[in-house]
Structure 1
């Protein structure tokens, strides 16, 4: 290497890491201010769905997506322990080879019962579910119309499949319809939507959007990752609450939120859906989930079918936190509670990081979300409520926000 070349560059060639220079500078500037790195927090011990030891301190968890608090459910844990003992640590194979155990069939059966649908397909992660389904059903020459605020896994699925991507303004029904009407006649069309958008916690107007999609001859895929288990009479998500679940061709979800473990899935009533097991690359070429994981997921999903009381309590928690933070003077991502996510908008990244650290010192963990992951270049403190948070914990959380907000200057003293 020539002495005047930067690390990673040879003979004047471009350093492949140079594309990350802005992010590197942002992170170094943040750490130079003395703030603890908000993106590498270690939980030394997890005590329950709502508490952990962080930096040696008992901390309330308000940023885990553990919406229904199933991670420590005794039946769920016992199912995982039994499967681990009976079947071992992993499958070491793909679902189309040696990686389908009895537990994989059982978790797919649980999903079919939960959604009352004909087909269910389980992936090793929620990311892979979107990546696999979208890239397989929409390829070159097809069109995908999607919300501009769609999750990274949705965008990556579009890129992998090489379809024409047509984004529209967030939750804008008219803009979506205009994009659909411009698509050439006879082309394959897929509309991709989310029930709850993870950054601001806002809900899509699915009833209207699905109608527009169907009126224009498009298939519909809805990602219910942040609403499954919680929203809807039976916890099936925004599609159920909007009364249009039967009009959705594909529903994508994840096990890493309300279900409390890891994995992803797609459910569908399409009569040809089972061929996806042979043509979907992120399914075919990935080792299947460990037996202990699918056992915990199946048990959790069956319990969520009867989780009405937990859903009602989670709604009460969301309403109370949203109202309390509004009364304290914080600016929130939605005018009213729409989901289990309450996003608190910060003036900028520096003060957002300072507020995050002040809350952590109070004994509260939330997510610090920053651009480019956030819409409109916002910095957010994202709160994810849990059905296991007590009413008393929510009041404690509000006190922590008040003290930290005044100390950092986010709200008036």
Structure 2
């Protein structure tokens, strides 16, 4: 018989599972580098500049691909919605949380993608979590790229489907996994247009063909390609001519659209039932009126943003070539998106390079394992359509000076 009282029992430290990460962070900060995950922007001046640590800094790590955050029409729409509808809805979409603006932004999405249905979530993470967990459940199979975003993995886990990962962008491996799934089982293939760590694109045309040949539905996350890639900015699926074969497109407002929120568009005739069965949609307060107003205005402007898309491609090609010529190792041999990943030798030197760039007046993302593939440490750059050619040249000089100072080049 156990005579110990509750006060005699040793408390289990539920934080002990994080000890290795705590030690890594402590060791990194002990070298004297600035904490790269605690940067404060004291004032944002434009889509491409902000005041960080008291100095004007060029922003090259914000995913603000199309530079819509300071668009005058977008800001005006948000201010008007605040005046007309107040600061928030205080309710979910299925109760009191659907305002005229929520319907308007869903209509803007339907018009943008040319699809029948659109469903807006409070974040992009929730869009993946909600859609994937609801349409693929126990007894179903999800075939997905091993480098899929955390929100995709979490959606799989929440839905309790059998998860079958395959090697990144490996068409043959994906086909082998599909052919092993039992006959008659529900199958969902989940892909991304642009993978956010290296900025590489998926061979969607071939992958979608194989998925359909094997009786699978297809979901493509176009978070990092919407607004920029494709003739109309609809993403990689449009660019490769297979958008009409995609069952579900997931996206976010926090990249090219320039605000916050997530969405799914679809042509599936039964899609509207998702509003009653998708728990992250049903049990979450809806986006504030000012947010959906800015999103709707931004999306409609992105429909006519061909010149911005052209300039962003110019920026991406110019910086990719400049960094390659300087001797940096990049995540892709050619520019494939607005993301340019600069591979670092290790976390310590990556943090030193990040800090050296910040001292130069440049902000980029420091990405580390386990978020990155193959245990890599990356400096992730995301270009903006509002970056001028002069700024790209300045950025190149900053990388050269910082790289030489740290010994990366």
Q: Do they superpose with TM above 0.5?
A: yes
Match of 2:4 in 1: none
1:291 aligned onto 2:299: no
Q: Tell me the secondary structure at the aligned position of residue 41 of structure 1.
A: coil
Match of 2:219 in 1: 221
Does the C-alpha gap of structure 1 residues 10 and 16 become closer, same or farther in structure 2, counting only changes over 3 Å? farther
Q: How many residues of Structure 1 are paired with residues of Structure 2 in the alignment?
A: 403
Equivalent in 149, 152, 160 of residue 151 of structure 1 = 149
Equivalent in 233, 236, 242 of residue 235 of structure 1 = 233
Q: Tell me the secondary structure at the aligned position of residue 220 of structure 1.
A: strand
Match of 1:83 in 2: 81
Counterpart CA distance in 2 for 1:22 and 1:86 is 50
Shift of 1:15: 1.0
Counterpart CA distance in 2 for 1:296 and 1:10 is 57
Equivalent in 52, 55, 58 of residue 57 of structure 1 = 55
Paired residues for 1:295-310 under 5 Å: 295-310=293-308
Equivalent in 204, 207, 210 of residue 206 of structure 1 = 204
Paired residues for 1:257-296 under 5 Å: 257-296=255-294
* 1:377-398 Cα shifts (integer Å, max 9, x gaps): 0000000000000000000000
Paired residues for 1:362-373 under 5 Å: 362-373=360-371
Q: Tell me the secondary structure at the aligned position of residue 239 of structure 1.
A: helix
Q: Tell me the secondary structure at the aligned position of residue 191 of structure 1.
A: strand
Match of 2:384 in 1: 386
Match of 2:16 in 1: 18
Match of 1:73 in 2: 71
Match of 1:397 in 2: 395
* 1:322-343 Cα shifts (integer Å, max 9, x gaps): 0000000000000000000000
Counterpart CA distance in 1 for 2:113 and 2:40 is 36
Q: Tell me the secondary structure at the aligned position of residue 130 of structure 2.
A: helix
Q: Tell me the secondary structure at the aligned position of residue 45 of structure 2.
A: strand
Shift of 1:12: 2.8
1:252 aligned onto 2:250: yes
Shift of 1:11: 2.6
Moved over 3 A (4+): none
1:353 aligned onto 2:351: yes
Counterpart CA distance in 2 for 1:105 and 1:390 is 36
* 1:296-354 Cα shifts (integer Å, max 9, x gaps): 00000000000000000000000000000000000000000000000000000000000
Counterpart CA distance in 2 for 1:180 and 1:396 is 48
Q: Tell me the secondary structure at the aligned position of residue 269 of structure 2.
A: coil
Does the C-alpha gap of structure 1 residues 187 and 305 become closer, same or farther in structure 2, counting only changes over 3 Å? same
Match of 1:169 in 2: 167
Give ranges in structure 1 of 5+ residues lacking alignment.
1-8
Counterpart CA distance in 1 for 2:366 and 2:85 is 39
* 1:121-177 Cα shifts (integer Å, max 9, x gaps): 000000000000000000000000000000000000000000000000000000000
Equivalent in 315, 318, 326 of residue 317 of structure 1 = 315
Q: Tell me the secondary structure at the aligned position of residue 251 of structure 1.
A: strand
Shift of 1:14: 2.7
Match of 2:3 in 1: none
Equivalent in 112, 121, 124 of residue 122 of structure 2 = 124
Match of 1:95 in 2: 93
TM-score w.r.t. structure 2 length?
0.98
TM-score w.r.t. structure 1 length?
0.97
Counterpart CA distance in 2 for 1:243 and 1:262 is 28
Match of 2:338 in 1: 340
Does the C-alpha gap of structure 1 residues 42 and 242 become closer, same or farther in structure 2, counting only changes over 3 Å? same
Match of 1:44 in 2: 42
